[in-house]
Chains A and B, each alone.
Chain A
Amino acid sequence: MSTSLAVWTGALLTLAVLSFLYDDNPAWRITEHLYVGLAAGYGLGYTWQNYLRPVLLNQVGAPGGWIWIFPLVLGALLYTRYIRGWEWLARFPMGIWIGYGAGYILAYLPRVVVGQVTGSMVALNSLSNVALLVCLLGGFATFVFTLPDRPGLIRTAGRIGRYAILIALGVAFGGTVLYRFTLLYGQVHFLVHDWLGLGH
């Protein structure tokens, strides 16, 4: 058994989280609240250390640094949602962020779609390529919304597309299972090996 404080801390916290599988209990609740608190504290503290502090020290004071005042004030307007009567001011950063984000989508996403389109222009000289095209066009057909009773061709294509989508989702499930078990294995290995001193 380990004598290290770090290992004991980690082991007890791991057991506290696992205890939730049996039922809700105080050890789990303490860990859960610890988790939320640490995550929030870390996020803010890190942003301060790595971004806000350097910007305030190096950029705002530098020549021409006054321009930084605008975004900092804009972002800070979000806090007005906690001040009664001033909540509407928070709409300004929100509106600009959502507009800026929509601009990003509009500016960059079409080129990725074009890449997907040109990438699908395969030579129809092998069974796999034909099958790929059928799966893709069939998949498109499942997402047709404007025809209430879809005509026969689109319906058949849509069915094939739906099967392709189900295969894709099944394969994704398989990958997810392995990923989750790998993570759990790591934590259990820590308990068994580092804490209890068993195994290799």
Chain B
Amino acid sequence: MRKELPIWLGTMAGAFVVATRWFTLVNATGVDRMADRLIVASYAAAAAVGFIGLTRVHLRAIDARRPLWGYSIVLLVAMYGYAGLLFFLPASAPLPSWIFLNVMGPVFSTMYGLIAFFITSAAYRAFRVRNLESGILLAAAAIALLGNSAVGGRIWHGWDGLVAWIMAVPVTGGFRAIQVGAALGALGTAVRVLLGLERSHMGSPQG
């Protein structure tokens, strides 16, 4: 019952969603709208799970004086400090939004920008022509780099047309094949979940 009941409830929830979205009679009751609002509420009620998890991990690290435990204090102070602030003040109040723009902003942007460095070393190491396949990958990357940065159009007038054709034909065809395939894979997984065949999220992969 501890394992089967949640799976059955999940199957019922999934069947409910499909029924309310496709069939005129069920859809006309408007029950899907209420269900959507309620499911949002259930997600929100679980919003603290990562918060609690981090608290446990870092309290334990401090308690056991693990290596680098001092940084755990930084993390907990930042986390509880900011959450506490937002408990009393709206996010648009001066102090929370100052922290948002001047502390979170630069750190998040630079973290994202760091990837520019790693991309360069990946380009140096990984984009080497070993066979026809890696040659195609490299050539397509080079054409797109010059095309999207408006450099290509200055070198040769037809460059933008070439990029447009590549986008319209091989890129559309190739990505469409991947996306339709991934959609079939996702639909297959959804059916496996609803039939109760796929139950690794219940703790043991083989049932």
Residues of A whose CB lies within 8 Å of any CB of B are 6, 9-11, 13-14, 17-18, 20-21, 29-52, 55, 67-68, 70-76, 78-79, 82, 88, 91-100, 102-110, 112-113, 116-117, 120, 128, 131-136, 138-140, 142-143, 161-178, 180-181, 183-184, 186-188, 190
Contacts and interface: CB of A to CB of B under 8 A. Distances in A.
B113 interface: yes
B129 interface: no
Contacts of A92: 5-6, 9
Contacts of B115: 180, 183
Given A41-B82, A135-B174, A91 B116 contact: no
Q: Is the interface of A mostly helix, strand, loop or mixed?
A: helix
Nearest to B142: A174
A107 B107 contact: no
B171 interface: yes
B158 interface: no
Contact of A45 (B2, B74, B82, B201): B82
B177 A6 contact: no
A63 B107 CA distance: 45
Given A109-B187, A171-B166, A75 B174 contact: no
Given A71-B40, A74-B45, A95-B10, 11 more contacts: A10-B106, A37-B74, A37-B76, A41-B79, A45-B96, A103-B18, A105-B187, A136-B172, A167-B170, A170-B140, A174-B144
B154 interface: no
Interface string B43-86: 11111111110101000000000001001101111111111111
Contacts of A36: 54, 75, 78-79
B41 A38 contact: no
Given A20-B114, A78-B49, A174-B143, A13 B106 contact: yes
22 contacts: A13-B103, A17-B107, A37-B54, A37-B75, A45-B87, A79-B52, A91-B3, A91-B202, A97-B10, A99-B14, A100-B10, A102-B10, A103-B194, A106-B14, A106-B187, A106-B194, A143-B177, A161-B177, A165-B177, A167-B136, A171-B144, A178-B148
